[in-house]
Structure 1
Amino acid sequence: MVHEVEAALVPTPPDEVLASAFRLNISRADMHTLTDTQWLNDEVVNFYMNLLMQRSQKEGFPTVYAFNTFFYPKLVQGGHAALKRWTRTVDLFSFDIILVPLHLTAHWCLAVVDFRKPHIAYYDSLNSDCEQPQCLATLQKYLEDESLHKRSYGLNWDCWTLKVMDVPQQENYNDCGMFTCQFAECISRDAPISFGQQHMPYFRKRVVYEILHKTILSV
């Protein structure tokens, strides 16, 4: 495993494709963002979110849908109308959990819709003590518009909460993407978030292996 991971992190030739699935390709250049000092790129985050969706189809896991990293910027720019085609064949309200990876001002974080709670929650490894971010209200409006569009009625927001979660904090400025992925990993199996900065080197190597083998390892 160690040799395989180390070989995958060699950055050249940068365009060589190391993994293909979900209509996504991970090149050596993409994989190299998983080295210790790099920021994860969109391709790695999106591939990983698809792995979590794939795992959620197994018995015993909550059902999960993950938007890609381009969803939220498009939502901010064009509102629900710009995204109607994105869920043409997807019923968001049939899932337990929706994961929304966010890239906000050069920083990765995560929003989570859990229809079982129900709530919209914000997970940020750099600002867990921040006030309620705008993204929660933006996603709330999106869900309302989606419900009206697909089901012709809105959601009962009286029983919903919008919340900022108290989560482990990163101790540098390059691990936000890995924290975001691992928040999503724990949430998508209803597990407590109990990792910290000290686990990031391990998680980076583990995600390399998981991408190469197109599966999430059992904990």
Structure 2
Amino acid sequence: MAKLTDLSLQLSRAAGMKTDFVPTLSHHRVLPSDNLALVVLGNLDLLLDSVQSKIRSLELSWGKFLDDHPQKANSLLNSLINEMRAAPEEFWKALRTISFHDYSTLGPGRWLNDEILNYFIEKWCKGSRTLGFGTFFAGSCLFEDKNTCLQAKRCLTGEDEERVFRCVKRRLEMLSLDSWDAVFIPIHEASSHWYSVRIDFKLKRIDIFDSLRDTCISNRQKPVPLRKNSNLMLVLMWLAEILGSIRGEDVCLTNNPLTSWRCDPHSKVPFQPNTFDCGVHTLWHLKHILQYREITLGKRSAEDGLLFTQDMAGKRLRLAQELLHDGKARKI
């Protein structure tokens, strides 16, 4: 697979030559060699498609193997992280925001840290239609204490609104988004648990995704005003109105029982069977949003290599390998 990936990188660069080459043909008399060059570049495009298709097939098979054999995945993950201890400084510089300390949080039984989530959110959302915020947005804009993200804001001011505008502007530039119709927000609760929020303007939904079973079960037994996330949902409704105005869309959720929007403070997601896989679940929530716009369970997600599993060791290894690939690619 590594050789195919390297070949794909080289072919991608060659494929870019065709884009630069074709416009120049109109500036001079066409030579026989020009047609030959076009044929060669076209063949390189076909080869690139074939290689990428093969890589995708191997990735799906590899992902299924890891999901079916979590103990093997954990063993391979430990070996990879130990190997990366000796990675040269140039490798980590190529990744810019990721150090070995950050990388090691992908290890078995570890809590993923902010840098890991920020890296993948930025990478996966770039050029998409989902405005994925970094891990500091929630604390800065939605909660009273930015360090704990425990108590949602009760009194929202014009200053809060201006802060959201600034954050959105910076994030749109960072992600190179010209248009967007969904928002993803990771939340780091008390620096010990990750969960996420999705605001979808196309589906007209606000969903909170939390993979902790106990939180969901205990909430179902309480009156709605006393449930965890009730106050947060009110803030998210306000946020949806602000984001709607940025999009040039009139969204009115406050004191509007006739709205067509649906708000779910505990949207259905697979539960984590432990206390440490919340970060991996949060990243998998994002993968599903980008792929399906929804958390999708069953055969379809299994066929796409996105199935949630009881043991997420295979997902951890895939994330670690993706970072390894990115670091090597940027060094070339």
> TM bucket by the smaller chain?
0.7 to 0.9
Verify: 1:166 aligned to 2:262, yes or no: no
CA RMSD of aligned residues (A): 3.2
Cα deviation per residue 1:110-158 (whole Å; 9 max; x = unaligned)?
100111111110110003343461322212212323444x478741331
Give how far 1:14 is off.
9.6
Q: Is the 8 A contact 1:39 1:174 kept in 2?
A: yes
Q: What are the equivalent positions in structure 2 for 1:47-126 lying under 5 Å apart? A: 47-54=119-126, 57=128, 63-75=129-141, 76-77=143-144, 79-88=160-169, 90=172, 94-105=179-190, 106-126=192-212
Partner AA of 1:198 in structure 2? Q
Determine helix, strand or coil for the equivalent of 1:110.
strand
Partner of 2:15: none
Q: Is the 8 A contact 1:169 1:196 kept in 2?
A: no
Q: What are the equivalent positions in structure 2 for 1:9-20 lying under 5 Å apart? A: 9-10=81-82, 12=85, 16=89, 18=92, 20=94
Contiguous gaps of at least 5 residues in structure 1: 58-62
Q: Is the 8 A contact 1:19 1:211 kept in 2?
A: no
Higher helix share: 2
Partner of 1:156: 252
Distance change >3 Å, CA 151–CA 203, structure 1 → 2 = closer
| Corresponding pairs, count | 206
Partner AA of 2:318 in structure 1? R
Higher strand share: 1
**How many percent of aligned residue pairs carry the same amino acid?**
24
Verify: 1:185 aligned to 2:287, yes or no: yes
Verify: 1:145 aligned to 2:242, yes or no: yes
Distance change >3 Å, CA 197–CA 35, structure 1 → 2 = same
Q: Is the 8 A contact 1:79 1:142 kept in 2?
A: no
